Chain A
Amino acid sequence: TQLLEQSPQFLSIQEGENLTVYCNSSSVFSSLQWYRQEPGEGPVLLVTVVTGGEVKKLKRLTFQFGDARKDSSLHITAAQPGDTGLYLCASRWGATNKLIFGTGTLLAVQP
């Protein structure tokens, strides 16, 4: 059972457009991480959000953790071809250190 659902599953946009991807769960998480994965490589951490309502910015990427800590979003402003990749959200499973990943959003930014 996938505890974290991401949407959309695929997204193809033109360079310069804005986009938002979502990560949702029926469970409350103490923290949430976002990773980006490029072809042929492992995922790389982008950011960790911990506090409900928290907003973090990483250049053109804005991450938000929902007030109830059951959802998160990633907004990209003026997307670039270099943003192309698979975006994954992840959180701990219960009280363990097992990190569970969402289903992923595959983003393609066309020049």
Chain B
Amino acid sequence: DAGITQSPRHKVTETGTPVTLRCHQTENHRYMYWYRQDPGHGLRLIHYSYGVKDTDKGEVSDGYSVSRSKTEDFLLTLESATSSQTSVYFCAISGGGQNNSPLHFGNGTRLTVT
């Protein structure tokens, strides 16, 4: 298995509080991604990174920010959590820029906003 660790694995937080999810990789891969998964929507891309300090928005980036200060860590922050952000969050990594490079996923973080 690709070396991807997401933390925490589960979190319950209150509306309006800030939350940061961490993705750590040991593969030295260039590309890192944050997705959210909700019933009926498959996986939706929030943000992705194509290198240290290089990030770009995905399909559902509103309400989220990211940072990548070093290759191995990609942080996802919810500045002020809302109930609509209750979801399962997956981090993924990819080594190549080729069109058919596969993604390797972590095991997810289940976030509940009450």
User: Does B64 count as interface, using CB distance less than 8 angstroms?
Assistant: no
User: Which chain A residues (1-47) contact chain B, with CB distance < 8 Å?
Assistant: 1-2, 4, 6, 9, 30-31, 33, 35, 40-45
Residues of B with C-beta under 8 A to A101:
35, 42-45
Q: Is the CB of A45 within 8 A of B48?
A: no
Which of these, B56, B101, B106, contacts A98 with CB under 8 Å? B56
Q: Is the CB of A42 within 8 A of B90?
A: yes
Residues of B with C-beta under 8 A to A92:
99
User: Does B74 count as interface, using CB distance less than 8 angstroms?
Assistant: no
Residues of A with C-beta under 8 A to B92:
42, 99
Residues of A with C-beta under 8 A to B35:
101
Q: Is the CB of A30 within 8 A of B99?
A: yes
| A9→B40 CA distance, assembly (Å) | 8
User: Does A68 count as interface, using CB distance less than 8 angstroms?
Assistant: no
| A4→B42 CA distance, assembly (Å) | 10
With A103-B41, A103-B42 as contacts: A98 and B100 at CB distance below 8 Å: no
A94 to chain B, nearest CB (A): 11
Which of these, A33, A42, A43, A96, contacts B56 with CB under 8 Å? A96
B109 to chain A, nearest CB (A): 11
User: Does A62 count as interface, using CB distance less than 8 angstroms?
Assistant: no
Q: Is the CB of B107 within 8 A of A100?
A: no
Q: Is the CB of B33 within 8 A of A102?
A: no
User: Which chain A residues (68-111) contact chain B, with CB distance < 8 Å?
Assistant: 88, 90, 92-93, 96-104
Q: Is the CB of B48 within 8 A of A100?
A: no
User: Does A61 count as interface, using CB distance less than 8 angstroms?
Assistant: no
Residues of A with C-beta under 8 A to B105:
41-44
Q: Is the CB of B42 within 8 A of A98?
A: no
Which of these, A9, A45, A98, A103, contacts B45 with CB under 8 Å? A98
Q: Is the CB of A103 within 8 A of B40?
A: yes
Besides the known contacts A40-B107, A98-B45, A101-B45, 17 further A-B residue pairs in the complex with CB atoms under 8 A apart: A2-B42, A4-B42, A31-B100, A41-B107, A42-B106, A43-B43, A45-B102, A48-B102, A93-B45, A97-B48, A97-B94, A97-B97, A98-B56, A98-B58, A101-B43, A102-B42, A103-B42
